[in-house]
Structure 1
Amino acid sequence: MTTKRFFTPGVRVIRPKLSLRRPLAVLAAALIGMTGAAAVATPASAHHTTITATAVCDQLSGERVITWKVVNSERRSAATIKKVTTTPSTKVQVLVPGAEAVDLQGVAIPKGGFVEAVQRVPGETATAELVVEGRWDNRREQTNKGSINLAADAACAPAPKCVDASDAKYSHTFDGPKGTATVKLEGDLPLCGDAKQYFTLVSYFAPRPKFATPQYVYGAPASDFLGGTQTEIALNVGVPDCHTQVDLIWGGVDEVIDPLVENGKRYGDKKLGEKGAPGNRSSGPQGWYNGGSKNCTTPASTFASACDGTVTVSLSNDGTLSRYAVEFEVRGENGWSKKVTVEPGKADNETVVPAENAGAIEVLVDGKVIEGGTYKWQRPEDCPLPTVTTDADCETFALTASNPEGGVPVKVEFTYGDKTETRTVAPGTSEKVSFKAGDEETALVVLPELDLELEVVYAPEDCGGGGGGEEPPGLPVTGAAAGGIAAGAIALLAVGAVLFVMARRRRIHFTA
């Protein structure tokens, strides 16, 4: 049975709703890109049909949906479509609300009205054609043709259900100092099939806070993939507490370079956020970081003072991350300086700071004083001390300071009464001072640099009550008496040495 719909001139024509076997709502949501290109057959007589067409792409099926509009040119006579020919040869149907669609062939077109029919053709169709043979109520017949060019439209294909790994786009975050990053698959579609895309976060310890080589991987890189239902990953890697480089790279752990050396391999565009592929397939900040505030090596120094005033500086380059040679600089007073390079795991104990430069020593690496890297010469406890001997008679009181070999020059202050004499005694030499005998019974000998004091009592023999500077009555002191004084001087030499060893800032008395 043929369903006829008539359209009367002057009356508003309501187009039939499209309701093919596929629900109209689903079709409408999937259709994009509409064209209006159509060709109209030139009528051979007054009775004719005018055919135009529009097309959309059904992304659910990948088909093009053509809507043909066939218009009756006659306002006084209805027409019936007797024959329909299509290219491609697929059905052309009129959509009837609330009922099954019917073929265009056999449908009546009212006076001056039109009918619309839908045809589905493959998505790759370049052109489509509809030929309609119509018969009017007055028995006139006419065949007309319409066509549409589909090649100018965008390609029509089914909407994808997944994204190929080679076409996927990503976005990422990156925090180098903290060693964290995230990577996310963009869009709503997962990767197709079993495809997996790996990303890796790796940290290095480095010789400088900017890019420099060699660099060595610190700890284990963090690596994970996007694929299947996993569309976002978080990566977290340990970062050394020293100069470092952190990289977020495209690929798995097999892409990690260890070590990074001069003129060796580089990550290049594999780093996410780079301008080239594949790194530019992820949008976000640059996925690399160089920084750190201190050396990854563990430079250290120790000091040893010698009795001659020199200091031997021992330098070491050891530690869990010590894979770099360290250049030390040892500085002393008066502009003295020496540079020493120590290889990883090694030590150097051959740097000797001269005595005249050992008052303030610094050990530096990269221009900064290392921890524990300051020192000044300190007299070793086992160094021999200077000695003081006396030579006294009724006229003079003489004191002699002697400095052993292998020591440093010593400053000695001799004070008797209101007079003070100062001498600097070189190693292996002696200095003697003589005072005119007076009423004072003691002299003070001070070695300020050694923090030592010695008090010497003036008590010559046979001076008639002594100490006043006048010769006693009778013969001068000679013979045995002179020998006794000399013996006393020798004894004081030994006693003096002991006194200096024992007395630091204590005033010790002995009799000359």
Structure 2
Amino acid sequence: MFHIPSVVRRPLAVAGAAVVGLAAAVVLGGSPASAHHPVVTGDATCVDGKWQVEWKVANSETDLDGDIVSATFTPTFESDTIKAGAVLPKFQGEASLLKATQTLDISVTKASLSVEAHWKRGRQNITKTQGATVNIPRGGCKTSKPAVAFADDCAGQVTVVVSNGEEATKDLRYTIVVGDEKVSEGTVEPGKSSEPFVVPGNEDGTPVKVVVKSKDKVIGEHEWTGPEGGCEPEIAVESTCDDLSISVTNPPEGLEFEVVFTPSTGEPQTMKVEKGKTSTVTFPASDGLTVTPSIGEDKLDAIAWENPGNCEEDTPTLPVTGANAGAIAGGAGGLLVVGAAVFFFARRRRLRFTA
């Protein structure tokens, strides 16, 4: 008989106990709370020079619905099914899965989804997060078809880039058309992209429409809608017993311009509106005070100081620590008009100077 030396016997016994314990954990499962989790998977396929991920989210539980607390897609993506507040049905096969299809440009090489879900089992509140990352299909997603990329700016301009398919067998001849006018044309080799071409916006402020053709066939069309971050500045007016304050907050993608504020009494003030910043002008309060904004020769609706009440000259007043609703409401009627007009005139004048 072969005898295991005592010096080896104890470590083997410990290892054996660990294996038995692990097997028991696998067979018997963990505690009910640890079993709850969303099951996130994704499958990638190439589609017309882009690629898509079909995301699926399943419930680990077969007897209890959950709900999604948050769903984070990278790159950002809005889903009508996999989203915060959606019910995560108890698992009953394929029909119980939540699904969403995300389309990505071939310049993006991977995508991910993280889902946080919640269950209430008896008196237990259970929350668990799980995610998955999917890579672009091996070898990338090539196509013989042309593609056109459009990018809007706040000046009403559209930048156009035309690409030829990597598997194309000949050069791509293209024409960029605005209305009935041919504004540019060129040739792109297989697997290459054109130099960016900037289509000027319309001077009347209407959105420009761009069509890209190849041999009279439309390969791309776009109407200006503005960049994702928005363009129109926000204007806030506040009347206190001492001042009329006007603030302009410009979005990060907004235009930079100057506004002159001319009061009915006192000296005008010029505000330089910069991207991503808030600028403020203040005028001493007085009965009948109005301030007229203007951009160049274009005048906007006047803004009037509204007495917030309790502003007697001889009566000491406490500092104002919050916005006076009545005072703000008094100027609110013209704010939307002023805000839209500031953006419109600034954009229009910007185009005139750069055309």
Query: Please, what TM-score do these two structures have when normalized by structure 2?
Result: 0.34
Between Structure 1 and Structure 2, the one with more helix by share is: 2
Query: Which fold has the larger relative contact order, with Cα–Cα distance below 8 Å and residues 6 or more apart in sequence?
Result: 2
- The structure having more radius of gyration, on CA atoms, is 1
Query: Please, what TM-score do these two structures have when normalized by structure 1?
Result: 0.25
